Amino acid sequence: MYYTKMYLYILSSFFLSLLAIACLDKIELKNQKFSSRVVILQGRLVQANGGASVTVSLTSTGILAGTELESHISGAKVTLVNEQGQAWHLTENLVTRLYSAKIPQNSAAFTLRTGHKYHVRAALNDGRVYESAPELLMPVPKLEKVIYKYVLKNVVDEKGFVTPDTFVRYSVCTNLRTSADAPKANLKWEFHVWYKLTDHKNKVCYNYEPQTVDKVYIYNGSFLKQDRLDEHGVLDVFFEFKFAEGYYIKHVQEALSPGAYQYWEEVKKLAERNGNMFDPPPGTISTNIRNVNDPKDRVFGYFYATTQDTLPMFINPKEMGYPTLFCADPNSISRICDDCLKQHFSTLVKPKFWPE
């Protein structure tokens, strides 16, 4: 059961689709070690802001002219099930290619509490039924503070020379326990970035920058004897034009069960492989999904449950020393300076959270 970039492609499709982003770059997927009948189920239950959301991606792989392709499995009956046997139906969205649902706080029809277990069940039109193992809904410690500072890091330039460059490092301050007698949490972080850019026609765009799947930020709470992290460096961002007109970053912290942590650790190792001859072969990535009627059916993916805490931060240009604008040169031939909407995930609509 070896995972290659096909798996990372499908995983990236899932997390980009969580933000209702339908346009994905095409990736060449030749000669991958996937059966043409493989089903991949990805999903998570997230409790935050007084309610919960559950999202599931259901895909299958196939071979066409020697190329691995993935396709959305439509028409499935997908439900979230709790320990009491209560079920909540997920609705299919053919645009995002996801099954999803919102669960209101204190719903009488569905009990939702940290410390309880949840699983998903997907019944396909052809009679196959897939189910995840029950996952504990983990409470998350409060993300108390995020700080940033400049750091120098060595990078390899276009000519192959190693030179120091300036990065902005984001560090978190958080407890590892949610209470004095609670175990230390395994943590995962996500980062969502928006920045402002003005083109040569004085058109102002707000650009969203999604986190790529090859970047996995996790921490095993058992690593430290201490009960908290203080100024723990998580994310390094290259210091550039994106800070020149306003930069908004939303930090998301979530807690992982031991099984979910193991899964993300394996995904991280796969994503960080350089692919040279000295790399060890890719290992098996954990799955908690099974075909309830056929234990020999090969199915991949993982479903987990978590709570999230978020902390937004806006960095104005003055704080960063007014970096050079991307379109500062009036003679620039950049297509983005001609029309900033040509930047991926760009809009003229100012986000509601933008402070200016």
**What are 177-229's pLDDT values in tens digits?**
999 999 999 999 999 999 999 999 999 999 999 887 778 999 999 888 889 99
Which of 211, 274, 216, 207 has its CA nearest to residue 244? Answer: 207
d(CA 77, CA 289): 16
120 and 166 assigned to the same domain: no
Give the lowest-confidence range in 275-284, 333-342, 346-355.
Answer: 275-284
Whole-model pTM: value is: 0.84
Which of 262, 307, 306 has its CA nearest to residue 286? Answer: 262
Which tokens is 248 given? Answer: 């908004």
What pLDDT does residue 15 have?
Answer: 52
What pLDDT does residue 35 have?
Answer: 44
What pLDDT does residue 14 have?
Answer: 57
Average pLDDT on 296-319 reads 94
From residue 175, alpha-carbon distances to 127, 232, 254, 264 in Å are 46, 11, 12, 21
Whether the predicted pLDDT of 3 surpasses 60: no
82 and 50 assigned to the same domain: yes
17 and 104 assigned to the same domain: yes
From residue 329, alpha-carbon distances to 207, 324, 333 in Å are 20, 10, 9
* Domain around 129: 5-139+257-308
Which of 194, 195, 198, 196 has its CA nearest to residue 327? Answer: 198
What pLDDT does residue 156 have?
Answer: 86
261 and 250 assigned to the same domain: no
Q: Is residue 354 part of a domain?
A: no
Mean pLDDT of the chain: 86
Whether the predicted pLDDT of 34 surpasses 70: no
What pLDDT does residue 32 have?
Answer: 39
Q: pLDDT-based confidence at 1, cuts 50/70/90?
A: very low
Percent of the chain with pLDDT over 90: 68
296 and 207 assigned to the same domain: no
194 and 339 assigned to the same domain: yes
* Amino acid identity for residue 81 in this structure: V
234 and 279 assigned to the same domain: no
What pLDDT does residue 64 have?
Answer: 58
Average pLDDT on 305-325 reads 95
Q: Is residue 356 part of a domain?
A: no
Whether the predicted pLDDT of 76 surpasses 60: yes
201 and 296 assigned to the same domain: no
Contact by Cβ (8 Å): 176, 229: yes
192 and 235 assigned to the same domain: yes
Q: pLDDT-based confidence at 159, cuts 50/70/90?
A: confident
Which tokens is 221 given? Answer: 């709470």
129 and 169 assigned to the same domain: no
188 and 268 assigned to the same domain: no
Which tokens is 350 given? Answer: 């100012």
**CA R_g for the chain:** 22
Check residue 147 and report its DSSP letter. E
Strand order in the sheet with 143-156: 143-156, 162-175, 228-238
What are the tens digits of pLDDT across the range 88-123? 999 999 999 999 999 998 889 999 999 999 999 999
131 and 157 assigned to the same domain: no
Q: Is residue 352 part of a domain?
A: no
Average pLDDT on 119-147 reads 96
Q: pLDDT-based confidence at 345, cuts 50/70/90?
A: very high
**Structural domains of the chain, count:** 2
What pLDDT does residue 30 have?
Answer: 36
165 three-state secondary structure = strand
